[in-house]
Amino acid sequence: MKVWIRDTAGLGTVLWLFGYLTSLVLFFSPFSGIMGWIITAVFTPVTIAITWWWFRARNLALSYYAGVGIVWTVIAVVLDYLFIVRLFQATYYGPDVFVYYALTFLIPVGVGLYLIRIQGEPVREQG
């Protein structure tokens, strides 16, 4: 259970926090109007690399990666609502945000598919 919590709540919150802190910096820059697209363009490959690095040595089932993606997406939605929409009373939900939420789910699933392909089917599910 500790591994599952670290993979979902731990890593998901850390990745969200990186993007959130970056958005605060960009908010006070001339790029504030397109900061969502900038963050998506920069952090998508970074998140893919971190996710691959995090899970590379484990042989997990696709359902595990899907669960990670669901939890990461829930974390992103809830924390965005609390710390962007409520805290700053921001009008927040544009196309970039929905792309970000989709990627938040798809990245662990895609990395999982890749790892399963190169490692073979998992012998047992960890968690």
Query: What is the mean predicted confidence (pLDDT) over 24-30?
Result: 92
What span, in angstroms and rounded, lies between the C-alpha atoms of 102 and 33?
A: 21
Instruction: Give the pLDDT confidence of 37-66 residue by residue, as tens digits.
Output: 999 999 999 999 999 999 999 999 999 999
- Could you tell me if residue 124 is inside a domain? no
- Could you tell me if residue 7 is inside a domain? yes
Q: Name the residue with higher pLDDT: 70 or 87.
A: 70
Could you tell me the residue range of the domain that residue 114 belongs to? 2-119
Q: Can you give the pLDDT at residue 109?
A: 98
- Could you tell me if residue 55 is inside a domain? yes
- Could you tell me if residue 73 is inside a domain? yes
Q: Can you give the pLDDT at residue 88?
A: 86
- Could you tell me if residue 34 is inside a domain? yes
- Could you tell me if residue 59 is inside a domain? yes
Would the pLDDT of 127 be above 80?
no
Q: How many domains does the chain have?
A: 1
Quickly list DSSP for 27-81.
Answer: HTSTTGGGHHHHHHHHHHHHHHHHHHHHHTT----HHHHHHHHHHHHHHHHHHHI
- Could you tell me if residue 101 is inside a domain? yes
* pTM (predicted TM-score): 0.91
